[in-house]
Chain A
């Protein structure tokens, strides 16, 4: 074997050895023992032949069987290259810790897995970048990072982005692992902000719509009054014409003219005394007086217009009608009391004591239903005289 052949064989064997070693390293990275053994097995003949050849290199002419050496070197190298190709081909279909890390780095989200003591076992570049922006340093301890953002896990960055973080505990190989994920919710935050603004606008519009409804109702009533005024105007016009005809002696009689003016005068007077309406209780008192019943009220009562006030008035109304219809009384007494948490209103009358237990009719039943729906209670006692008591929650009124 001449020096050139020996050199070529050395190169060939060196290529085989390197290929087998690369394959072996790849197997180690992917933790595949069988593949590692295969690569090692392929590397050993290459290395052995190379060692022998190198040891004999200065006097390579003494080496016999050049063809045999060549064949052995070729087979060994091909085997090593084959092992490397197989490893490379296999690596395309298998995950390694490095490929996981690499793919994590490409994720648009920020990701970190850490042991319970906070030491990260996997994190991506985005998480480090966000950690820098939020805490001023790379994420070295996941627990410290989480403590920094825990109070407000949705953060807005100086660059205008909004990120949402969440942490979850999970088990891995019997050990506790925390997963921290950061998601870019800039678009969602923008949309939510826009939605909140729209909702506020919508609420304002609905308020205006409600007010508009009331205004329209009032306008309809005003129109009705205007039509009545027009009719009165026509009546006065007719009365004037009638008077003129009577005075000129054309037609008509004094009594008809007087009647027309009496009616018109009354209408005009009525118009001028557009009364100041009394409150609801005063109206009820007047109605009661008109039918011969006196309503006496003392103590504290809910403010007019509130739901509680409406219930108190409804109960007074019911007690008044029942007093006249069933008990033949002439006096209704109402005592109101304000406690720390409730209104207590008692209704007593001077009517006949019911001979039998009171069976609640539709009026009392409806009152009880309304009272209970408002969170209150209604009690009825018969002796020594009829007494209805309403207990109404004050909180409800305050909320309104």
Chain B
């Protein structure tokens, strides 16, 4: 029996490459292929699906992780693999919290997608050890604390320290201290440079839509 796979990917070419991989497999068959993560749970109402390949960010800012959370609540039996090319460090943690079975980096991971799909359907949870290591100025992405990354993510929004402090429930002085620490680690001259480089690297991605 072949496992039925739903692909959620907004870009046509990557989506069709996924479709080809699935169709070329002997263990999987394509049940459905859609481009909007927000509607994935609607399709799950009628289409029998065993496994979903879910892109993290689909067009219009829809967040595949939020969609995965909805699907896991309504259809806990459906297994989900998050696929992304974004090295955003919080995605791994969030995916685990939601209960997503596996996680696959499109470009970085050595293991093939079909292997990950196979192992996932065999009951394994396949996660990379960590998000891809990036370099930010003089610092490795692994040198930042979780809180620093939270603040770094907010800085890319262009908000002031006061707004960031309000959103993260901390004092402005704490925000400043974290920013100074990051500037010291990276060697960047100011917060704007820090924000621009962080955003370019993909280390942090701000998604306020949801």
Residues of A within 8 A of B (CB): 202, 205-210, 212-213, 216-217, 220-221, 223-225, 227-229, 231-232, 263, 266-267, 270-271, 273-275, 277, 280, 283-284, 287-288, 290-292, 317, 320-321, 324-325, 362-363
Interface status of B14 (Cβ within 8 A of chain A): yes
B166: which A residues are within 8 A, CB to CB? none
Instruction: Give the top 8 A-B pairs by smallest Cβ distance, nearest first.
Output: A206-B158, A291-B46, A228-B13, A209-B158, A287-B39, A210-B158, A287-B42, A324-B45
Query: Quick check: A280 and B60 within 8 Å, CB to CB?
Result: yes
> Is there a chain A Cβ closer than 8 Å to B106's Cβ?
yes
A213 near B206 (CB under 8 angstroms)? yes
In the assembled complex, B50 has its CB within 8 A of some CB on chain A: no
Known: A280-B60, A283-B39, A290-B43. A217 touches B158 (CB 8 A): no
Residue of A nearest to B191 (CB): A209
Contact B45 A224 (CB under 8 A): no
Q: Do A317 and B74 have beta carbons less than 8 Å apart?
A: no
Q: Which residues of A contact B86 (CB under 8 A)?
A: 220
Contact A292 B46 (CB under 8 A): yes
- B73 in contact with A228 (CB, 8 Å): no
Q: What residue in chain B is nearest A207 (Cβ atoms)? A: B158
Contacts of B42 in A (CB 8 A): 284, 287-288, 291, 317, 320-321
Give B107 Cβ to nearest chain A Cβ, in Å. Answer: 7
Point out the residues of chain A lying under 8 angstroms from B156, CB to CB.
209, 213
Q: In the complex the two chains form, is B74's CB within 8 Å of A321's CB?
A: yes
Of the candidates B16, B34, B85, B195, which one forms a contact with A270 in the assembled complex, judged by CB atoms under 8 Å apart?
Answer: B16
Contact B38 A317 (CB under 8 A): yes
Cross-chain contact A210 with B157 (CB below 8 angstroms): yes
Question: Quick one: which of B17, B34, B199 contacts A213, CB cutoff 8 A?
Answer: B199
- Is the beta-carbon distance between A291 and B13 smaller than 8 angstroms? no
B192 at interface (Cβ–Cβ under 8 A)?
A: yes
Which residues of B from 23 to 62 have beta carbons under 8 Å from A?
34-36, 38-39, 41-43, 45-47, 57, 59-60
B200 proximal to A (CB < 8 A): yes
A325 in contact with B17 (CB, 8 Å): no
Contact in complex: B205, A217 (CB < 8 Å):
yes
A-B contact count (CB 8 A): 99
Some 13 contacts from A to B, beta carbons below 8 A apart, are: A217-B205, A220-B86, A228-B14, A231-B17, A232-B17, A270-B13, A273-B12, A287-B42, A287-B43, A290-B46, A291-B46, A292-B46, A325-B45
Complex-state Cα separation, A363 to B43, whole angstroms: 17
A321 to B73, CA, bound (A): 13
- Taken together as a complex, chains A and B put the C-alpha atoms of A207 and B73 apart, in Å, by 37
B72 to nearest A CB, angstroms? Answer: 11
CB atoms of B106 and A224 under 8 A apart: yes
A290 to B86, CA, bound (A): 31
- CA A122 to CA B12, docked complex, whole Å: 83
Which of A212, A228, A267 sits near B11, CB closer than 8 Å? A228
The answer for the CA separation of A363 and B14 in the assembled complex, in Å, is 31
Nearest-neighbour CB distance to chain B for A233, whole angstroms, equals 11
- Mask of B84-114 contacts with A, CB within 8 angstroms, 1/0: 0110000000000000000000110000000
Question: Other than the known A207-B158, A216-B202, A280-B60, what 7 A-B pairs have Cβ atoms closer than 8 Å?
Answer: A209-B196, A213-B156, A217-B205, A291-B43, A292-B46, A324-B45, A363-B70
Q: Is B159 an interface residue (CB 8 A)?
A: yes
CB distance from A213 to the nearest CB of B (A): 5
Judge whether B159 and A291 touch: CB under 8 Å: no
Bound Cα distance A227, B105 (Å): 14
**Residue of chain B at shortest CB distance from A227:** B107
Q: Does B20 reach chain A (CB closer than 8 Å)?
A: yes
Measured CB to CB, the nearest residue on chain A to B36 is A283
Give the complex CA separation of A290 and B192 in angstroms: 47
**Do A232 and B13 have beta carbons less than 8 Å apart?**
yes
Once the chains bind, are B17 and A228 in contact (CB under 8 Å)?
yes
A227 vs B85: C-alpha distance in the bound complex, in angstroms?
11
- How long is the Cα–Cα vector from A217 to B206 in the complex, in angstroms? 10
User: Are the CB atoms of B41 and A321 closer together than 8 Å?
Assistant: yes
Closest CB of chain B to A211's CB: distance in Å? 9
Closest approach, in angstroms, between the C-beta of A183 and any C-beta of chain B? 28
> Which of B45, B57, B59 is the one whose CB lies under 8 Å from A321?
B45
Complex interface: chain A residues within 8 A of B60 (CB): 280
Which chain A positions have C-beta within 8 A of B35? 277
Known A-B contacts A210-B158, A216-B199, A225-B14; the reply to A267 vs B20 at CB < 8 A is: yes
Point out which of A205, A207, A213, A223 has the most chain B C-beta atoms below 10 A from its C-beta: A213
Q: Is the CB of A225 within 8 A of B45?
A: no
Give Cα A317–Cα B107 distance, bound, in whole angstroms: 33
> Which of A210, A225, A275 is close to B13, meaning CB atoms less than 8 Å apart?
A225
Query: Chain B residues with Cβ under 8 A from A320's Cβ?
Result: 42
Instruction: Tell which of B70, B158, B205 has the most Cβ of chain A within 10 Å.
Output: B158
CA distance A212 to B45 in the complex (A): 38
Residues from chain B with Cβ under 8 Å of A280 in the complex:
60
B14:A224 contact, CB within 8 angstroms:
yes
A213/B157 in contact, CB under 8 A: yes
Nearest CB to that of A208 among chain B residues? B158
